[in-house]
Homo-oligomer: A and B are copies of this chain.
Amino acid sequence: MARAVTQPVTNGTQTAEKAGGVETIIRSAHDRVVREIVDLFVRLAEVAGLPRSIGELYGYLYVADAPLPMDVLTSELGLSKGAVSQGLRLLRSFGAVRTVYVPGDRRDHFVAERELKKLAAGYLNEKVLPHIRRGDERLKEIRALIAQTNGGDRKILQERLQRLIRWHQRAAKLIPLLLRLLQQ
The chain A residues found within 8 Å of chain B, CB to CB, are 10, 12-13, 15-16, 26, 29-30, 32-33, 36-37, 39-40, 43, 47-49, 62-63, 65, 114, 116, 128, 131, 134-135, 138-139, 141-142, 145-146, 148-153, 156-157, 160-161, 163-164, 166-167, 170, 174, 177-178, 181-182
Determine if B37 and A164 form an interchain contact, defined as CB atoms under 8 angstroms apart: yes
Copies of this chain, whole number: 2
In the bound assembly, the distance between CA atoms of A57 and B109 in angstroms comes to 47
Determine if A174 and B181 form an interchain contact, defined as CB atoms under 8 angstroms apart: yes
Contacts of A163 in B (CB 8 A): 114, 116
Contacts of A15 in B (CB 8 A): 150-152
In the bound assembly, the distance between CA atoms of A105 and B39 in angstroms comes to 50
Contacts of A12 in B (CB 8 A): 152
Contacts of A29 in B (CB 8 A): 145, 148-149
Contacts of A47 in B (CB 8 A): 49, 128, 131
Determine if A30 and B116 form an interchain contact, defined as CB atoms under 8 angstroms apart: no
Considering residues A43, A63, A150, A174, which has the most beta carbons from chain B within 10 angstroms of its beta carbon? Answer: A150
Sorted from nearest, which 10 A-B pairs have the closest CB atoms?
A: A13-B152, A49-B49, A29-B148, A65-B156, A29-B149, A116-B167, A33-B145, A30-B149, A30-B153, A36-B142
Considering residues A39, A139, A151, A153, which has the most beta carbons from chain B within 10 angstroms of its beta carbon? Answer: A153
Determine if A157 and B49 form an interchain contact, defined as CB atoms under 8 angstroms apart: no
Determine if B33 and A150 form an interchain contact, defined as CB atoms under 8 angstroms apart: no
Contacts of A33 in B (CB 8 A): 142, 145-146, 149, 157
In the bound assembly, the distance between CA atoms of A10 and B150 in angstroms comes to 12
Tell me the nearest residue of chain B to A47, going by C-beta: B131
Determine if A170 and B182 form an interchain contact, defined as CB atoms under 8 angstroms apart: yes
Contacts of A16 in B (CB 8 A): 150-151, 153
